[in-house]
Structure 1
Amino acid sequence: MERARLGSWAEVGSRVATARERGGFTQRELGDRLGLHRSAITRIELGQRHLDALELAQLADALGRSVEWFLTEPPAVIASHRDGLSADRNVQRLEDELERTCRDVELLNDVNVLSVPSAALHPGVTSRDEAEARALEARSLLGRGDGPLLDLQAAVEPLGLLAFSLDLGPSVIDGGYVRLGDIGVALVNGTADPGRRRFNLAHELGHHLLADEYTADFGLGTTRADREALINVFAIHFLMPRSSFHTRWTELSGQWPDPRHRLVVLAAEFRVSWSATISHALTLELISRSDFELLKVRRPTSGDYLEVGARFDEELQPVALAPAYSQAAVRAYRRGVITADRTIELLRRTVAAEDLPRPHEMPIEALASEFEDII
Structure 2
Amino acid sequence: MVRVRLDSWPEIGGRVAAARERAGFTQRELGDRVGLHRSAITRVELGQRQLDALELARLADALGRSVEWFLTRPPASIASHRIGLSADQNVQRLEDELERTSRDVELLTDIGVLSVATAALPAGGTTLADAEAGAIEARSLLRHGDGPLVDLQAVVESFGLLAFSLDLGPKVIDGGYVRLGSVGVALVNGAADTGRRRFTLAHELGHHLLADEYTTEFGLGTAPADREALINAFAVHFLLPRTSVIRRWKQLSQELEDPRSRLVVLAAEYRVSWTAVVSHARTLELISRNQFEPLKVQRPTPADYLEMGVRVEHELQPIALAPSYSQAAVRAYRRGIISADRAIELLRHTLVPEDLPRPHEMPIDPLAADFEDLA
Aligned counterpart, 1:219: 219
User: What is the rounded CA distance, in whole Å, between the counterparts of 2:138 and 2:173 in structure 1?
Assistant: 25
Give the % identical residues: 75
Aligned counterpart, 1:5: 5
Shift of 1:304: 0.5
Indicate the SS of the match to 1:367: helix
CA contact (8 A) 1:162 1:322 kept: yes
State the superposition RMSD in angstroms. 1.3
CA contact (8 A) 1:82 1:174 kept: no
Aligned counterpart, 2:45: 45
Aligned counterpart, 1:180: 180
Question: For 1:170-216, what per-residue CA distance to the aligned partner results, in whole angstroms no more than 9, with x for missing partners?
Answer: 02500000000010000000000000000000000000001241453
Indicate the SS of the match to 2:312: coil
- Which residue identity lines up with residue 60 of structure 1 in the other structure? A
CA contact (8 A) 1:177 1:184 kept: yes
- Which residue identity lines up with residue 236 of structure 1 in the other structure? V
Q: Which moved more, 1:83-92 or 1:13-22?
A: 83-92
CA contact (8 A) 2:336 2:360 kept: yes
Shift of 1:364: 2.7
Runs of at least 5 residues in structure 2 that lack an aligned partner in the other structure: none
- Which residue identity lines up with residue 211 of structure 1 in the other structure? A
Aligned counterpart, 2:295: 295
- Equivalence map 1:1-375=2 (5 Å): 1-81=1-81, 84-87=84-87, 90-219=90-219, 221-375=221-375
CA contact (8 A) 2:168 2:191 kept: yes
Question: CA 1:211/1:88 → structure 2, altered by over 3 Å: closer, same or farther?
Answer: farther
- Which residue identity lines up with residue 190 of structure 1 in the other structure? G
Shift of 1:222: 3.5
Indicate the SS of the match to 1:149: coil
- Which residue identity lines up with residue 161 of structure 1 in the other structure? L
Q: TM-score, normalised by structure 1?
A: 0.97
Question: CA 1:135/1:229 → structure 2, altered by over 3 Å: closer, same or farther?
Answer: same
Shift of 1:289: 1.6
User: What is the rounded CA distance, in whole Å, between the counterparts of 2:60 and 2:373 in structure 1?
Assistant: 40
Shift of 1:3: 0.6
Question: For 1:6-35, what per-residue CA distance to the aligned partner results, in whole angstroms no more than 9, with x for missing partners?
Answer: 010000000000000000000000011111
Q: Which moved more, 1:96-105 or 1:362-371?
A: 362-371
Shift of 1:97: 0.4
User: What is the rounded CA distance, in whole Å, between the counterparts of 2:340 and 2:368 in structure 1?
Assistant: 26
- Which residue identity lines up with residue 363 of structure 1 in the other structure? P
Indicate the SS of the match to 1:249: helix
Indicate the SS of the match to 2:79: strand
CA contact (8 A) 1:124 1:215 kept: no
Q: TM-score, normalised by structure 2?
A: 0.97
Shift of 1:366: 2.2
Shift of 1:82: 7.1
Shift of 1:361: 1.3
- Which residue identity lines up with residue 8 of structure 2 in the other structure? S
Shift of 1:373: 4.7
User: What is the rounded CA distance, in whole Å, between the counterparts of 1:116 and 1:349 in structure 2?
Assistant: 23
Shift of 1:218: 2.0
Indicate the SS of the match to 1:213: coil
CA contact (8 A) 2:175 2:188 kept: yes
Runs of at least 5 residues in structure 1 that lack an aligned partner in the other structure: none
- Which residue identity lines up with residue 101 of structure 1 in the other structure? T
CA contact (8 A) 1:333 1:359 kept: yes
User: What is the rounded CA distance, in whole Å, between the counterparts of 1:172 and 1:84 in structure 2?
Assistant: 13
- Which residue identity lines up with residue 104 of structure 1 in the other structure? D
Indicate the SS of the match to 1:78: strand
Indicate the SS of the match to 2:187: strand
